[in-house]
Amino acid sequence: MMNIVRGRICETNGFDVIHQGNWMMRNLDIATLRSLQAVAEYGAVTRAAEALNMTQSALSMQMKRLEEVFGRPMLAKVGRGVILSDFAQDLLGESRKLVALNDAILSRYTGLQPEQKLRVGLSSDWLFAKVAQTVRAFRKDYPRVELVMRDARTKDLRAQMRRGEHDVILTTEFEAPAGAIHLAKVDLAWVGAVGGSAWQDRPLALATSSHCAYYPAAIAALDAAGIGWTHPAGEGGDENWHILAAADLGVTVRPRGIPQAGLEDVEHGGGLPPLPPTWLNVYVADGPARRTASDFAGYLRRVVCEVAAAA
């Protein structure tokens, strides 16, 4: 690290550093935060680097800089892939606000004002790489539309839309209610570590958050089949349960055929009970943004068809 002179701004590892009295304040680099978002969207450093027209080593260096600033790991190895650490997931939510504010300031003072704001709610159950890439594609095709994204559980998204907080939401539900645009009917699968054996244990360790919409469906299926189960002790978000399953400390429930680092659909040969299918639905609110919201729903439909075909 370079020496810091009192009252002088220096650049250290890609961050502005200001020495104020006896403490040091660092200014985050917006480009580095964009890279963190890209890794989250594409699920891999290599693909994220390609999307940003960067080398893999350059993007990896940016992740290392973030780790140096916060003293916490950004990525966690799972099998042959990587996922964001729990800390990076928390940082991601805050960094999106900072990047959005940066863009809003530039737009306001350079005369490139957005023509419209589109408020989008996405269920975390389906925030896989393809949907994130669809958001990126929409932004490229609609550069004058400001996207305001929120990640929440399906039941919370429905309540928020009723309160007028969203223009369009993507949900996963065990029904196809009236008023919804039905994108796909997707089978659920028992998912565990690549080559793992936890699915054979009895009682079965269910590595799924009790707040997940799939949790009661999994319990009901196990109870109906007379299979005993336990819920491993753990705290944190979805990534924590992902890590438990990938470490072969239990099994979880996910949409069939959706690739995730370190996990695979369990080929149990009937050793585990069948699970009910789930609907992937989109709701578009009435209002001035309805046409744009419907266009966004079209982008989601295309990517869902692509993912469903691959699965």
Domain region containing 203? 188-276
**Cα 135 to Cα 147: distance, rounded to the nearest angstrom:** 9
pLDDT > 50? residue 156: yes
The two tokens of residue 303 are 């990517």
| CATH code: domain of residue 43 | 1.10.10.10
CA dist list (Å): 170 to 14, 188, 191, 214, 295: 37, 17, 23, 16, 13
Q: How far is CA 134 from the centre of its chain?
A: 13
What are the tens digits of pLDDT across the range 91-110? Answer: 887 887 888 788 778 777 87
Could you give the residue ranges of the DSSP H alpha helices within 43-170? 45-51, 56-70, 86-110, 129-141, 154-162
**Cα 279 to Cα 174: distance, rounded to the nearest angstrom:** 6
**Cα 121 to Cα 137: distance, rounded to the nearest angstrom:** 17
Is residue 180 domain-resident?
no
Is residue 121 domain-resident?
no
State whether 102 and 6 are in the same domain: yes
What are the tens digits of pLDDT across the range 231-249? Answer: 986 655 566 788 899 999 9
pLDDT grade, residue 197 (50/70/90)?
very high
The two tokens of residue 205 are 């360790």
Q: Is 13 exposed, middle or buried (0-12, 13-18, 19+ CB in 10 A)?
A: middle
The two tokens of residue 110 are 């350079």
Instruction: Report pTM.
Output: 0.62
| Single-letter code of the amino acid located at 295 | D
Number of domains in the chain: 2
**Cα 30 to Cα 37: distance, rounded to the nearest angstrom:** 11
Nearest Cα to Cα of residue 183 among 299, 294, 276, 282 = 282
What are the tens digits of pLDDT across the range 48-60? Answer: 787 677 889 999 9
| Higher local confidence (pLDDT), 228 or 183 | 228
Nearest Cα to Cα of residue 78 among 226, 205, 241, 289 = 241
Which of residues 86, 113, 140 is at a domain's end? 113
